[in-house]
Structure 1
Amino acid sequence: MKVDINCDLGEGSTASDCIADAQLMPYISRCNIACGGHAGNLETMKASLENAKKNHLQVGAHPGYPDPENFGRNSMKISFNQLESSLIDQISQLEKIASKISVSLSHIKCHGALYNDAESSPELANRLVKSFNTHFPGLSIIGLANGEMEKAAQHLDCEFLREGFMDRAYLDSGYLVSRKAPNSVYHSLELIVKQALQLAQNQPLQTYQNNSLRIPVDTICLHGDTPNAKTVAKQVFESLTAQGIDVA
């Protein structure tokens, strides 16, 4: 068996900030690099791409609302044309840097509030998927398993990777519990590893309402900005390997 582990990286401001990211790379198979919207700059993009290349990772763009002051975690009231223009600029910028060091981008994954907004708005999801498919037809899209982005991608016949989260609580509907709710984000290493294994093996997991839910996924997200991210990454990797599951 194989499982894809993705991680959001390059969200610092200097190349030295990318050192911690690089320590996670041996335990993942794919990374999503911030490209100047919510975080990241030319220096961090280049360093992240170079580190990913050394670790033989699949590399994608991680665009978000152009709102670095709030780290892209707040919804922005801007027109779709303004949003689309920013997203295209962000992804194109990363693509240009990647091309210079002979790295090919493989996917796009929206960040933060934009990711959540797309999952709560079929219209936004459709417009985003259509835009990505028009401007970057060779790139697949990562989004919430069984969510609006997946439906939009199916409708438009775009390659889509269904994403699951090892450290987030799920509602019975298959959507994530709001971060504002208590115990919506897991901090227990044991619980995170357990859910990672359940997702990787397509086993049912326990929902926030204490029911059982099975979520078929193509990739599992590891959050790289948690304080113990390296410990989590290493433990998840070792636990998966012990079960005969390759991270690839």
Structure 2
Amino acid sequence: MKYIDINCDLGEGKSLVDCEHDARIMPYISSCNIACGGHAGDESIIKQSLLNAKLNGLKIGAHPGYEDKANFGRVSLDISVEEVVTSIQKQLDFFLRISSKLNISIHHIKFHGALYNDLEKQPQLASKLAELIKYNYLSLKVYGLANGIFEKRCIALGIDFIAEGFMDRTYVSSGHLTPRSEENAVLTEQALSIAQAISLASNQGIKTSDGKVITPQVKTICLHGDNPEAITIAKALHFQLTSAGFLI
């Protein structure tokens, strides 16, 4: 049997009604990353998201990012590395206090948006956030970009790193994600994104936006929950992967 984890960024809505939408995705995935109040979410949304995820038997992750709800954490902030580390620790501690009160265990950490990308552009930032995890949250695994700088920093510190691929984002030949500022950064056609997911799960090559082929070695694949068609895509992805012999 072949195994693949499907993760989805959730808890990023503005109300408990949005949590209901998220809950409809949960039967078709195996892990989730819940916003920690920085780029999205608040205490009530975190609580409901945690309860829904537990009910669906998901591996649950914390999903911190830049504290910038106006831009959904998708813009790099001009702040020091120390300020980023302080903000992330605040978000993680807030999230873990809520999960602890609910007696819900947390499986992993996955960084969000621009911060996720900046970890690959700023080695010092990658090192400092890896150190934060090692000395404060070592019991948690980390989901992050396959074959990147942050993966190397985490592994060097003994952090359990789970390499991630993206079904609905394009890559450049370096293995990094195509910047969202470029037109071809997102795969909008469902058939193309599902085909890429199956290639990633099978460790087969995928075409990059600059005309090359790369083969990221991944253990988890991200499906973006903020896509208006996320539920439809999740159902189709689940069907196609299980039909191809994968256990999600």
**Alignment partner of 1:92 is 2:93:** yes
Structure 2: 5+ residue stretches without partners:
none
1:37 match:
38
2:85–2:128 Cα contact (<8 Å) kept: no
SS of the residue aligned with 2:163? Answer: strand
What's the offset of the Cα at 1:123?
1.2
1:189 match:
190
What's the offset of the Cα at 1:129?
0.7
SS of the residue aligned with 1:105? Answer: coil
In structure 2, distance between residues paired with 1:91 and 1:157:
20
2:134 match:
133
SS of the residue aligned with 1:25? Answer: helix
2:231 match:
230
Q: Deviations over 1:92-129 (max 9, x none)?
A: 11111111222111111111111111111111111111
Residue 239 of structure 2 aligns with an amino acid whose one-letter code is: E
1:178 match:
179
Q: Deviations over 1:210-248 (max 9, x none)?
A: 22211100110000101111111110110000011011x
Structure 1: 5+ residue stretches without partners:
none
Residue 48 of structure 1 aligns with an amino acid whose one-letter code is: S
SS of the residue aligned with 1:195? Answer: helix
Residue 113 of structure 2 aligns with an amino acid whose one-letter code is: G
1:142 match:
143
1:63 match:
64
What's the offset of the Cα at 1:13?
2.2
In structure 2, distance between residues paired with 1:122 and 1:30:
28
Q: Deviations over 1:52-108 (max 9, x none)?
A: 000000001000111112111111122223222221111111111111222111111
- Percent sequence identity over aligned pairs: 48
CA RMSD of aligned residues (A): 1.0
TM-score by length of 2: 0.97
TM-score by length of 1: 0.97
Residue 219 of structure 2 aligns with an amino acid whose one-letter code is: D
Residue 205 of structure 1 aligns with an amino acid whose one-letter code is: I
Aligned length: 247
1:78 match:
79
Post-superposition, which runs of at least 4 consecutive aligned residues in structure 1 deviate over 4 A?
A: none
In structure 2, distance between residues paired with 1:125 and 1:154:
12
**Alignment partner of 1:206 is 2:207:** yes
In structure 1, distance between residues paired with 2:13 and 2:182:
27
In structure 2, distance between residues paired with 1:187 and 1:231:
13
Residue 108 of structure 1 aligns with an amino acid whose one-letter code is: I
What's the offset of the Cα at 1:33?
0.4
2:38–2:91 Cα contact (<8 Å) kept: yes
